Amino acid sequence: MSSSEFQLRPIGWVRSPLVTLADAPRQGDEGGSDAELVFAAEFVDGLKDIHVGETILLLTWLDRAARDVLVVHPRDDATRTQLGVFSTRSADRPNPVGLHRVVVSSIDGSTIGVSDLEALDGTPIIDIKPTLGPVSER
């Protein structure tokens, strides 16, 4: 075991009308926005098999989050009991990786359109993964 750190390199950025935290819903399925995922040219070869209509898992780096938070009031509701951050989807957590399940609505070169995304404009993208079907179809 080591305590070394690891370097994330953004592969792209979110382009969205959601600019401030006050604009953003708690989760994408609670009123997220249409958004574009704009990828750096060097990573475009990795996108070649993504298709319109597909549901993908988008991983982002929530760069406006606080990383020294371990307990939070769920949904910022002070009347609710504090929970450990690892039992919440709060952006504030030691490694603020955002996990978003979104549907691909368009593909144009290095830009992928998606719907119902709650991430803010300018949020770095770190990965995309397919959702997994049954073992027999992998």
In the complex with a copy of itself, the residue whose CB is nearer, 88 or 105, is: 88
Q: How far is the CB of 110 from a copy of itself (least distance, A)?
A: 12
Q: How far is the CB of 42 from a copy of itself (least distance, A)?
A: 9
Closest CA to 56 of 124, 136, 107, 132: 132
Residue 87, token pair as written in the block? 């039992």
What is the binding site for a copy of itself (CB under 8 A)?
1, 3-11, 13, 26-27, 29-30, 38, 40, 43, 45-50, 56-57, 59, 61, 63, 70-71, 74-75, 83-89, 93-95, 97, 99, 122, 124, 126-130, 132, 135, 138
Residue closer to a copy of itself, measured from CB, 17 or 130? 130
Cβ proximity to a copy of itself, 47 vs 103, nearer residue: 47
Q: How far is the CB of 68 from a copy of itself (least distance, A)?
A: 10
| Secondary structure (3-state) at 87 | helix
**Do β-strands 71-72 and 83-84 pair in parallel, antiparallel, or remain unpaired?**
antiparallel
- Give me the residue label for tokens 């770095």: 124
Q: Specify whether the backbone of 75 is left (phi greater than 0), alpha (psi in -120 to 50) or beta.
A: left
Distance of closest approach, residue 34 Cβ to a copy of itself, in angstroms: 19
> Which C-beta is closer to a copy of itself: that of 34 or that of 88?
88
The two structure tokens encoding residue 65? 């989050």
Contact 21, 64 (CB under 8 A): yes
